[in-house]
Structures are given as structure tokens and as C-alpha cells.
């Protein structure tokens, strides 16, 4: 990280040439700037029902267009707010136990 920060700072500083101080070339500096983003896998459920393998809740609703709809609660779904099963990968990577909220159409 220090190396990256040093590179960024150096890119924006003026430099001296034989003819005097040279203004920084911001566009060139930006093209040389390296940004490192590291996403760390982290549990999002530190305490709720940790004795369960996966926390899934369901609610019966009388008026629904589909018999079952799963809503994401892990924030990893590619189809958010709907669950796409990404919680399984998240749980495996972090040891977490999050799962979707299931809305089930209530039988009449």
C-alpha cells in the first residue's frame, strides 16, 4: 500500500528540469496511477441464530403473483433484491449462515 501511495504522490509532484520546474502532467499521472481494491470476505451476520446452518425465514402472503419468491439478505445477489443463490458462496467463504427471506403464497 505504501508503494501505491508513493507512486500517486510522485505522479502529482512537480519535477525540475534543466530549464526550470515542470508542471505535472495530470493526465499522464492518472494513466500511471495504480489503484488496488481488495474485497475481503466478511461475515454479515455476527450473532443472529448462529446455531443454524442457514438462516432462512418464510412469510405466507395471500396476494402474490408467484407461489414462491426469495429475497436476498446477504447483499451478494446479482439479481438483488431477489436471491440468486449467491449466499451459498458467501457462506462458504466466510463461515456465515445467511439465507433468503421466502415469501410464499398462502393457500386458500
Q: How far is the CB of 25 from ligand FES (least distance, A)?
A: 45
Kindly list the catalytic residues: 54
33-72 residues in contact with ligand FES (CB under 6 A) are: 72
Told to check if 74 binds ligand FES by CB under 6 A, we report yes
Q: How far is the CB of 99 from ligand FES (least distance, A)?
A: 6
**Unique residue bearing C-alpha cell 495504480:** 34
Count of positions on this chain that bind ligand FES (CB under 6 A): 13
Cα–Cα distance measured from residue 98 to residue 42, given in angstroms and rounded to the nearest whole number: 12
β 55-61/98-105 pair status: parallel
Cα–Cα distance measured from residue 4 to residue 30, given in angstroms and rounded to the nearest whole number: 13
Amino acid at each position: 500500500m505504501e508503494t501505491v501511495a508513493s507512486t500517486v504522490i510522485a505522479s502529482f509532484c512537480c519535477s525540475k528540469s534543466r530549464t526550470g520546474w515542470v508542471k505535472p502532467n495530470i493526465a499522464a499521472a492518472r494513466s500511471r496511477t495504480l489503484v488496488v481494491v481488495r474485497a475481503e470476505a466478511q461475515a454479515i451476520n455476527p450473532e443472529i441464530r448462529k446455531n443454524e446452518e442457514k438462516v432462512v425465514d418464510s412469510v405466507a402472503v395471500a396476494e402474490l403473483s408467484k407461489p414462491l419468491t426469495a429475497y436476498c439478505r446477504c447483499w451478494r445477489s446479482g439479481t438483488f433484491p431477489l436471491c440468486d443463490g449467491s449466499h451459498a458462496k458467501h457462506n462458504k467463504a466466510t463461515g456465515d449462515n445467511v439465507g433468503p427471506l421466502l415469501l410464499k403464497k398462502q393457500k386458500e
